[in-house]
């Protein structure tokens, strides 16, 4: 089934009582699992709109991913919960305290059999999806790891850190922990000496289905544009800089669609969107404005829909969340 990324319609929007930061469809596409600024997972049966609140986390839930027949959610206390969505409603299959601190990076392998986590202390671990058993740990990175991705070849893992002034993408051999490639992504730094803080940094990673490209997304500079940087995965050479006039806003997530185009999502209070790109062209294929900044995003397993997790509110302090599901024309 081929879809047209230029034609999108909103299918449904689910409101929630806290800002939402992440979402993931389960393997069947029946459930949409989301989390945000509290300890509860929201599970929505998309067809009926039935909502279920699931306990199990200790802190805010910042990231979620689909992994084989599970959906994984990870929180700021270092906990990962695996949700089995094959029954009447999602149930926890296992829970692990994967890290002692905030998990910012979470990604599953293409086959879903393994997944990786990265935390605020720069620790990156690889796990077996079936039972949550740790398989590998990389040498510690000095800075918070905001993105991880498992390469389609099954041998490499990609990390993105928040080193001030020079956020880095690194490619590692999973088994040996050997660093294969390091790419400085200074374009996504928002460091200013006056505050001595990295305002920007790489906020998420994606690897193309063929493994040839790595995408890092964030913002160009202190008050720049939402941006995605596309690199050659073999050489680390910059291929393209995809930036839009979402001044002050970030791209918080990027994913490759199975048809080959790239989807980025993010924004700020004023401007928020998800956008489709050809990774080999400067102009985007389409963009869709959303109710609030998209802090998380996932593509439906069929490739026909996209869901975005948002923080919404009319004032500076958004106190609500929304999950919006859009459908592309076939």
Q: What span, in angstroms and rounded, lies between the C-alpha atoms of 24 and 308?
A: 9
Q: Kindly tell me which residue out of 3, 8, 34, 39 binds other proteins, with binding defined by CB under 8 A.
A: 39
Please give the Cα distance from 173 to 150 (Å, whole number). 10
Q: Is 224 in the site for other proteins (CB under 8 A)?
A: no
Query: Residue from 240, 318, 324, 328 that binds other proteins (CB under 8 A)?
Result: 318
Work out the end-to-end distance of the chain between its first and last CA atoms, rounded to an integer number of angstroms: 7
Of 146 and 328, the one with the shorter C-beta distance to other proteins is: 146
For the record, the structure tokens of 109 come out as 């392998």
Q: In the complex, what is the shortest distance from the CB of residue 311 to other proteins, in angstroms, rounded to a whole number?
A: 6
Q: Identify residues 236-265 at the interface with other proteins (CB under 8 A).
A: none
From start to end of 68-155, where are the E strands? 70-75, 79-84, 91-97, 103-108, 114-119, 124-128, 133-137, 145-150
SS3 13: strand
Q: Decide if residue 99 touches other proteins (CB under 8 A).
A: no
Binding other proteins (rule: CB under 8 A), the pick from 11, 27, 68, 269 is 269
Q: Is 118 in the site for other proteins (CB under 8 A)?
A: no
Beta-strand pair 179-184/168-173: antiparallel
Listed ranges 34-42, 133-141, 168-176, 254-262: which one lies at the site for other proteins (CB under 8 A): 34-42
- How far apart are CB 23 and other proteins at their closest, in Å? 17
How many CA atoms, within 13 angstroms, populate the side-chain half-sphere of residue 313? 13
Q: Give the x/- contact pattern for other proteins in 58-97, rule: CB under 8 A.
A: xxx-x------------xxx--------------------
Among 105, 122, 132, 144, binds other proteins (CB under 8 A): 144
Total site size for other proteins, rule CB under 8 A: 30
**Minimum gap (Å) between residue 77 Cβ and other proteins:** 6
d(CA 144, CA 180) in angstroms, rounded, equals: 19
Minimum distance, C-beta of residue 195 to other proteins, in the bound complex (Å): 4
Return the structure tokens found at 70.
Answer: 């599970």
Supply 191's token pair: 């460091």
Residue 219 binding other proteins, by CB under 8 A: no
**How many angstroms separate the CA atoms of 40 and 321, rounded?**
13
304 binds other proteins (CB under 8 A): no
The residues near 190 (Cβ < 8 Å, ≥ 6 apart) are: 198, 199, 200, 201, 219, 221, 222, 223, 224
Handedness of CA 128, 133, 135, 138 (dihedral sign): positive
Q: Which of 16, 99, 120, 170 binds other proteins (CB under 8 A)?
A: 120
Name which of 151 and 203 has its Cβ closer to other proteins. 203
Listed ranges 86-94, 133-141, 256-264, 309-317: which one lies at the site for other proteins (CB under 8 A): 309-317
DSSP-derived secondary structure for 198-227 = ES----EEEE-TTS-EEEEEEESSTT--EE
User: Based on CB atoms, which residue is closest to other proteins, 1 or 55?
Assistant: 55
Q: Report the interface residues with other proteins, using CB under 8 A.
A: 18, 37-39, 58-60, 62, 75-77, 102, 120, 144, 162, 193-197, 199, 268-269, 293, 311, 313, 316-319
């Amino acid at each position: 089934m081929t879809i047209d990324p230029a034609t999108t319609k909103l299918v449904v929007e689910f409101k929630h009582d806290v800002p939402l930061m992440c979402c993931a469809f389960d393997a069947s596409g029946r459930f949409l699992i989301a989390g945000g600024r509290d300890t509860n997972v929201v599970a929505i049966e998309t067809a009926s709109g039935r909502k279920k609140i699931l306990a199990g986390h200790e802190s805010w839930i910042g990231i979620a991913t689909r992994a084989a027949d599970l959906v994984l959610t990870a929180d700021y206390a270092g906990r990962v919960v695996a949700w089995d969505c094959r029954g009447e409603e999602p149930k926890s299959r296992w829970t692990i305290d994967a890290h002692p601190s905030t998990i910012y990076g979470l990604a599953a392998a293409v086959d879903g059999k393994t997944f990786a986590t990265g935390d605020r202390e720069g620790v990156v671990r690889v796990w077996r999806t079936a039972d949550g058993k740790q398989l590998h740990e990389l040498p510690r990175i000095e800075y918070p790891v905001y993105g991880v991705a498992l390469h389609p070849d099954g041998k490499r893992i990609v990390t993105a850190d928040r080193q001030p002034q020079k956020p880095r993408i690194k490619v590692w051999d999973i088994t040996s922990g050997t660093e294969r490639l390091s790419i400085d992504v200074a374009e996504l730094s928002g460091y200013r000496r006056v505050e001595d803080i990295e305002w920007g940094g790489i906020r998420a990673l994606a690897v193309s289905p063929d493994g040839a490209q790595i995408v890092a997304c964030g913002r160009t500079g202190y008050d720049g544009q939402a941006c995605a940087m596309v690199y050659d995965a073999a050489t680390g050479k910059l291929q393209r800089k995809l930036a839009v006039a979402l001044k002050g806003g970030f791209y918080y997530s990027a994913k490759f669609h199975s048809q080959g185009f790239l989807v980025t999502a993010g924004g700020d209070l004023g401007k928020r969107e998800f956008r489709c790109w050809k990774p080999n062209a400067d102009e985007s294929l389409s963009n869709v404005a959303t109710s609030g900044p998209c802090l998380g995003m996932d593509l439906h397993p069929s490739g026909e829909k996209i869901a975005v997790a948002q923080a919404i509110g009319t004032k500076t302090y958004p106190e609500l969340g929304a999950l919006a599901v859009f459908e592309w024309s076939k």
